[in-house]
Structure 1
Amino acid sequence: MAITDDRRPVATRDVPYAMRDRLHVPRERYYDREFFELEKEHLWPRVWQMACRAEEIPRPGDFVEYEICDQSILVVRQPDGSVKAFHNACRHRATQLCKGSGRLPGGQIVCPFHGWRWNLDGTNSFVYGADGFAPESLRPDDIRLVECKVEEWGACVWVNMDPGARPLREALAPAADALDAVGAENMRVWWWKETILNANWKTAQEAFHEGYHVMSTHPQLTFGQGEDYPYSNVEYIPLENGHGRFLGRFDPTAGGISQGRGAEAFLSRSQTLWEGQDAMTLERDLHVFRGMRNRVPPGEDFATAAIKALFDYAEGAGIPLRPTPEGMRMWGGEVFLFPNFIVIPQFGNALSYRIRPHNDDPEWCRFEVWSLTMYPEGEEPGRPKLKGRFAADDTENWGLIPRQDFSNIERQQRGLHSRSFRQHRLATEWEPIISNMHVELDRYLAG
């Protein structure tokens, strides 16, 4: 039986390799077939999932296929600007209706097998050879496409296959408030890529639920501090509904964005982040910061002056960079939305991850990466396209920082099979978001 607390109902179904406490995670949760099948049956069909960026379907008739394990969902922009989502299967003989993404010609969803057609709202508009069917086989309510719940928030479209699912914002509370505070609604795609990793989807995403790994995994970001790197300057906050966030322990209203850093240290770190991943810190930000190099009076905090210059630049350019003080505390931190969506904001940009099982195998995952930013109002880019699927060690398409992470993720998955290893042992201070996610997962699996 999974562990419980006062917030949610007691579990009713036994879960194999369940969480017995918040300090240990059984290794089998990351590769066991029975556990993976429970996720397919009781997690993915019942939880809200980010299906696509809203700008992927800007016009009526635009569609995106969202895949999760053996399920395919068709997300379609409607004539009135709203969005509907349907199970992507013909009501005749189950043929997959659409693949990938694109535009539905003539505002019709057409089955490629026998030519049955549906309007954008899922109502059937044509049955080829209808006179050959019994009337009871063609009742309008029976042959309309089966809908999923769908809502838009945070510049994304979210779907849930459970018709009784609670509203999206209720399910995402309270973590969604943190993304509102950083202006996630105003962010658009800078680039979008993916890779396939030989690792469980949970192994992959847990690498980003803590900053404790930076000293060893990303030594270039410690700037010579080594083991003195101040990982304890981060506050990790498990949240209800399996979500979590971490943020810096500083006051953004008191010059605390980067306390104690001079101009060269701040600029060096900014350049390393830009060169290492082209996300969170972009070349545009670096140009603004460099422009302040010789303009800050001696004794004043360079980082605070540089951030002020960035706000001034954004205002002049018409960029909607308006985070709250609490939102500024999130810069360089993380917001995790259960079960598999991560946003790491900074400066009006963000790095975002979506991680899903791949090819019905518990030890492989599909790992998508977005670099997001804010554009001048009225100058947002067009419909974004996936740049491609690239190998995890591809030096032309991945910066050093993601390559370092990808390597560790796959090595961790291999280590889980060591006969010497039975369970993760989690730090109470640095890794509580990981255990919090697993406790929520057990609630779904236990019913």
Structure 2
Amino acid sequence: MNVETGMLQPGQARCPAETTQEIIARDKVCAPRWAASESYEYLGSEDISRDRYIDPAFATAEFERMWTRTWQMACREDHIPESGDYYVYDIGPYSFIVARDDEGSIHAHFNACLHRGTKLKPSATAGYAMDLKCPFHGWTWNLDGSLRQIPEKWDFAHTAHRRNCLPQARVELLGGFVWINMDPDAPGLADYLGPEIMAHMAAWKLQDRYIYLHVQKSYPANWKLTMEAFMEAYHVGDTHPQVAPANGDVNSQYDVYGAHVNRFISTLGVVSPKLREKYSEQDIIANFTLGDSSSLGSSRPELKEGERARQVMADMFRDMFEAATNTDLSAVSDTELLDTYSYTFFPNLFLFPGISLPMIYRFRPDAKDHRRTIYEVMFMRPKPRDGSPVETAEVQVLQDHQSFAEAEGMDPGFGVILDQDTDNLHAQQEGLEASAKPGLTLGDYQEIRIRHFELAIDKYLAMPPKLPDWTALQRK
């Protein structure tokens, strides 16, 4: 605040209600350090150009300057647990075979034969292979990328002096994820994320979880619009009115960390500040016990005098999750059990590390149409404490007309929420293309994640093109 005038400076305005941290501070089981913190930064108030969403040349620049330089989550280690297992990760025009070799090391090979360019493995597939063999003429590589065989080698004597191993992207492992980067000169993953986020990742222990449900759907909107639909809770009142009676929305917390990570915290078990005069503490409980898919099942406790709905829900969630997972959650904070923690890892990953809704979102642009996005939702569970094997879910691909609620294993109520989040996208894409206004106007606080995200894109697009370097990417 400007001391002389008493006026708020840009970015200082907040919802005139209790803050997220004030809500969390009253919980019985205290929040860990990574949750009980704030990291907001004012990043300007200028409009965001609409061209980045509607101009195909902008998408081309992203493929040439940004996607080739950034760390991306290709798969989970659990997708390729044994030697010979592989998983194909496609991002725009690029494709990688993420494979575990005979010694257990993981590689990310560019998915193209060095003979005449045929894809070695079909896009969006996974499986087991003893080698990587081209289906066209039979050129074959070992799982570590070294050349095994050229049929009729006598006719290729002129290639004997060449390094004919498959080019590879860089690979790092963190949190049970396999991360890849096409740029040999990019900073390592720890520097890319920063020390604070590395500490958060260590606290979450995501390597101890596995994917039990994986659903994918394509949307008729630019990938950035699709991601940004999930970056704020400002839309909750109008897009998800059914959750507002038990969900903090306009008083959610927003944070940015370095250049590549941001988050919001949205609290559960409290009434939206916009509805405080309309709903009671008992109404909050009722909101979560309506219908067959409610979060608290058929149980509807009556609050005793002085009890807070949020605390009663936290205690019930703790009992429910302990029974479902056979784990001891007595030391897990109430906020981890209840609240939505949404982290964006630039460029295209969302991690939700909480206990009640541990999820992964991944967004990938359609290489052939800058107006379409491939959107994936993955749900996670703790791995059994006894070490018994788990099965990573295969992806279910929905058609455009299908609801997320139709996916096998999807909670119907949450499927409806995902549909609501994405139903606006087509209208937004078409509206931007029809608009006379050259840009989008963002809130300084509630939409800071969008501005932070777009500034990161601008940083990479200001660099010269960096296409995959054949020489630098050959490892052997």
* TM-score grouping bracket, smaller chain normalisation: 0.7 to 0.9
CA distance in 2, matches of 1:131, 1:429: 66
**Which residue pairs with 1:307 in the alignment?**
314
Separation (CA, whole Å) in 2 of partners of 1:433 and 1:143: 44
Question: For residue 444 of structure 1, what is the amino acid of its counterpart?
Answer: Y
Q: Partner residue of 2:457?
A: 441
Q: Secondary structure at the match of 1:333?
A: strand
Amino acid at match of 2:76: R
Residue in 2 that maps onto 1:87: 110
Q: 1:440 to 1:321 in 2, by over 3 A?
A: farther
Percent of residue pairs identical: 29
1:342 to 350, 357, 364: 350
User: Unaligned stretches of 5+ in structure 2?
Assistant: 1-42, 272-279, 464-476
Residue of structure 1 in register with 2:431 after alignment: 415
Aligned pair 1:331/2:353, yes or no?
A: no
Tell me, yes or no, if structure 1 residue 357 matches structure 2 residue 365. Answer: yes
Deviation, 1:410, is: 1.6
Structure 1, 351-360 or 339-348: larger mean CA deviation = 339-348
DSSP-derived class of the 2:242 partner: helix
One-letter amino acid matched to 2:457:
L
Q: Which range is displaced more, 122-131 or 339-348?
A: 339-348
Aligned to 2:440: 424
Instruction: Please report how far the alpha carbon of residue 55 of structure 1 lies from its aligned counterpart in structure 2 after TM superposition.
Output: 1.7
Counterpart Cα distance in 1 of 2:145 and 2:334: 42
Q: 1:367 to 1:335 in 2, by over 3 A?
A: same
Secondary structure in 2 matching 1:64: strand
Q: Which residue of the partner structure matches residue 184 of structure 1?
A: 206
Aligned mates of 1:74, 1:271 — CA distance in 2: 46
- Residue 402 of structure 1: how far off its partner (Å): 1.1
Equivalent of residue 287 in structure 2, options 268, 285, 288: 268
Match for residue 225 of structure 2? Answer: 203
Residues 248, 329 of structure 1: 8 Å contact kept: no
Aligned partner of 1:101 in structure 2 is 125
Let me know the Cα RMSD of the aligned residues: 3.0
Provide the secondary structure at the position in 2 that maps to 1:404: helix
Aligned position for 2:419: 403
CA distance in 1, matches of 2:197, 2:116: 41
Cα deviation, 1:211-240, whole Å, max 9, x if unaligned, reads: 0100000111113x9xxx753321111221
SS for the counterpart of 1:339 is coil
**Partner SS state of residue 36, structure 1:** helix
> What's the CA shift string for 1:246-285, capped at 9, x where partnerless?
1147xxxxxxx6358746623633767x94xxxxxxx8x6
Conserved? CA contact 1:75–1:85, under 8 Å? yes
**2:131/2:142 contact within 8 Å kept:** yes
Aligned partner of 1:67 in structure 2 is 90
| Partner residue in 1 for 2:17 | none
1:373 is aligned to 2:381: yes
Partners of 2:330 and 2:182 lie apart in 1 by 35
Task: Give the deviation of 1:310 after TM superposition.
Answer: 4.2
CA 1:168–1:33 in structure 2 vs 1: closer, same or farther (change >3 Å)? Answer: same
Contact 1:27 1:424 in 2 (8 A): yes
Determine which of 253, 259, 263 is the counterpart of 1:241. 259
Offset of residue 360 of structure 1: 2.3
CA contact (8 A) 2:169 2:181 kept: yes
Change (3 A) 1:330 1:400: closer
Greater helix content: 1
Gaps (5+ residues) in structure 1? 1-19, 250-256, 276-282
Mapped to 2, the partners of 1:47 and 1:428 lie a distance apart of: 26
Q: Distance in 2 between matches of 1:357 and 1:421?
A: 25
Distance 1:318 1:94 in 2: 50
Mapped partners of 1:380, 1:406: distance in 2: 35
User: Residues 170-190 of structure 1, C-alpha deviation per residue, up to 9 Å, x if partnerless?
Assistant: 212344544444443323212
